[in-house]
Amino acid sequence: RFDLRRDREGHFVAGEEMVANARYIAEAVEIPVIVDADTGYGNALNVMRTVRAFEQAGVAGIHIEDQDWPKKCGHMLGRRVIAAEDMAAKIRVACEARVDPNFLIIARTDARTTLGPDEALRRGELYRNAGADLLFIESPETVEEMERIGRTFAGVPLVANMVEGGRTPLLDAATLERIGYRLAIFPALGFLAAGAVLDKAYRGLREKGSSVGLDVELYPFKAFGELMGFNRISEFDRKYR
């Protein structure tokens, strides 16, 4: 089995469920999907299974990190990392386990916050030599650090994690590309934006007792139905019923 992770209520969420969620997303969109595969859900043997499961789910790639289990968000303090050599072995296994050579293996190190930038760069080099397609040096804390990462791994595709309110400076696409980054992820933008709007909407509802006249921009109901695919369902019903 995969190792297990806990959700915010303390319930167990298994790796199989993460793969299932990734499959649902990949089936729902027409763009490549990259998945956060945490630590690979165990040792090198687990990583082999993880890669095959996510590849079969139809995603374009995964990133695996060198945190100890249980892992934490990459912009939190107190993260522990495993031995660099153990992580390098995971990356080698991941690269050998994939069937499609275009399936991306992204190696992430969380060493910067606890062990410093030098160790993070050393680990990045190990993971690149192990076969990683992209490197993900998590949570550099200044633009200068990010520029150093870009110089150190010139020509190597790098990942920038742009977390609003996180530990890393927020840079625009042109700047990231100029200093050497090729992929930027914005994992918090959606839920932070949604949280702010929901908070405003439901506070207004509680105060007014109605949704009429709320100072909140709502997605048009009909357009949202189209976004959800209701038109396709209606067409299916007309055709087959």
For position 8, what pLDDT does the model report?
Answer: 45
pLDDT of residue 77: 63
Whole-number mean pLDDT of the chain? 89
Name the H helices within 68-162.
Answer: 84-97, 111-115, 117-129, 143-152
Please state, in angstroms and rounded to a whole number, the distance separating the CA atoms of residues 223 and 4: 38
Tell me, what's the pLDDT at 6?
46
Closest CA to 112 of 74, 83, 166: 74
User: Over 80: is that where the pLDDT of 133 sits?
Assistant: yes
What value does the mean pLDDT take over residues 111-115? 92
Give the distance, in angstroms, between the CA of residue 9 and the centroid of all CA atoms in the same chain: 21
Higher-scoring residue by pLDDT: 151, 72:
151
Q: Is the pLDDT of residue 14 over 80?
A: no
pLDDT at 2: 37
- The confidence band for 83, taking pLDDT boundaries of 50, 70 and 90, is very high
Asked if residue 196 has pLDDT above 90, the reply is yes
Using the predicted structure, report yes or no on whether residue 12 has a pLDDT greater than 60.
Answer: no
Beta bridge partners of 108: 65, 136
| pLDDT band (50, 70, 90) for residue 170 | very high
pLDDT at 78 over 80: no
Q: Is the peptide bond preceding residue 70 cis, with omega within 30 degrees of 0? A: yes
Q: What percent of the chain has pLDDT over 70?
A: 90
Q: Exposed, middle or buried: residue 199 (CB in 10 Å: 0-12, 13-18, 19+)?
A: exposed
Is the confidence at residue 1, as pLDDT, over 60? no
Closest by alpha carbon to 210, among 219, 201, 218? 201
Tell me the average pLDDT across 223-232.
86
Secondary element (H or E) of residue 35: strand 34-36
Most confident of the following: 13-27, 59-73, 176-190, 222-236: 176-190
Out of 14-18, 109-113, 128-132, give the one with best mean pLDDT.
Answer: 128-132
- What gap in Å lies between CA 55 and CA 92, rounded to an integer? 16
Cβ pair 121, 146 in contact under 8 A: no
Comparing CA positions, the residue from 2, 23, 22 lying closest to residue 13 is 2
CA atoms within 13 A on the CB side of 147: 5
For 142-155, what is each residue's pLDDT tens digit? Answer: 999 999 999 999 99
Residue 197: CB atoms within 10 A of its CB come to 14
**Which is nearest to 119 in space by CA: 154, 87, 157, 164?**
87
From 143-157, 192-206, 214-228, the region with the lowest mean pLDDT: 214-228
73 has pLDDT over 70: no
Dihedral of the alpha carbons of 142, 147, 151, 152, in degrees to the nearest 10: 20
Q: What is the arithmetic mean of pLDDT over 201-224?
A: 93
Q: Is the pLDDT of residue 241 over 80?
A: no
The token duo for 54 is 């996510």
